[in-house]
Chains A and B, each alone.
Chain A
Amino acid sequence: EAGVTQFPSHSVIEKGQTVTLRCDPISGHDNLYWYRRVMGKEIKFLLHFVKESKQDESGMPNNRFLAERTGGTYSTLKVQPAELEDSGVYFCASSQVGTGEGEQFFGPGTRLTVL
């Protein structure tokens, strides 16, 4: 069975540009999460979808970040306009159960560099 996939694997953009990251969860997983790791810091939660609904978006840094999950399948995370501090690795994860009991499976991440 295919794992969580993310696209692109790397993205280098200039400050002020827009970037859209994509995540395809494991088929059948209702729960989809976005996390981010900024260099030197811990991995931090951004938001959680249950199917197409945003269950928790309290970790989103500001309104330059927009996440969508139309149809409850894949998700996109758009950063517009990108700032230098947005650089980091963006991980997507999915799980079957959303109460902390189900394992979250992580994708390989998108490494974003904002110049």
Chain B
Amino acid sequence: RKEVEQDPGPFNVPEGATVAFNCTYSNSASQSFFWYRQDCRKEPKLLMSVYSSGNEDGRFTAQLNRASQYISLLIRDSKLSDSATYLCVVSRGSTLGRLYFGRGTQLTVWP
């Protein structure tokens, strides 16, 4: 079973739409959770960390449900510049930062 599972999409939404991505992780020992963003043929970049209480950064809201081992990312008021692949990433604290990646969810925002 894969460490991190994501719906690969693609998601195609108009500007201004709200879109949600989901991800599940298989190892209950996972301690740190992240969403990374990867533009085409570029490196992954940290979008935001995900905390148990849920957290928001502007138009982006991340949620974590440890009981269900489920992570979500909500993007409100989508912009053209949000088009990218969104990677769900987890880390087990005991392995000193090794990251486990999902395959990514592709988002295209159209005008």
Contact = CB atoms under 8 A, between A and B. Distances in A.
B79 interface: no
A59 B97 CA distance: 13
A18 B92 CA distance: 34
Interface in A14-54: 31, 33, 35, 41-45, 48, 50
A97 B32 CA distance: 13
Contacts of A106: 43-45
B46 A45 contact: no
Contacts of B101: 35, 42-44
Contacts of A103: 46
A56 B96 contact: yes
Interface residues of B, number: 23
Interface string B80-97: 000000010001110111
Given A42-B4, A43-B101, A109 B32 contact: no
Nearest to A48: B98
A56 B95 CA distance: 8
A72 interface: no
Given A100-B32, A100-B91, A33 B98 contact: yes
Contacts of B2: 42
Contacts of A107: 43
A44 to B, nearest CB: 7
Given A35-B101, A100-B93, A104-B99, 12 more contacts: A43-B87, A43-B99, A48-B97, A50-B96, A91-B44, A95-B97, A97-B97, A98-B97, A99-B93, A100-B92, A104-B97, A106-B43
B44 A45 contact: no
B42 interface: yes
B97 A31 contact: yes
Nearest to A95: B97
Contacts of B102: 42
Nearest to A55: B96
B76 interface: no
A97 B91 CA distance: 13
Q: Which 7 A-B pairs have the closest CB atoms?
A: A100-B91, A100-B32, A106-B43, A43-B101, A98-B96, A42-B103, A98-B97
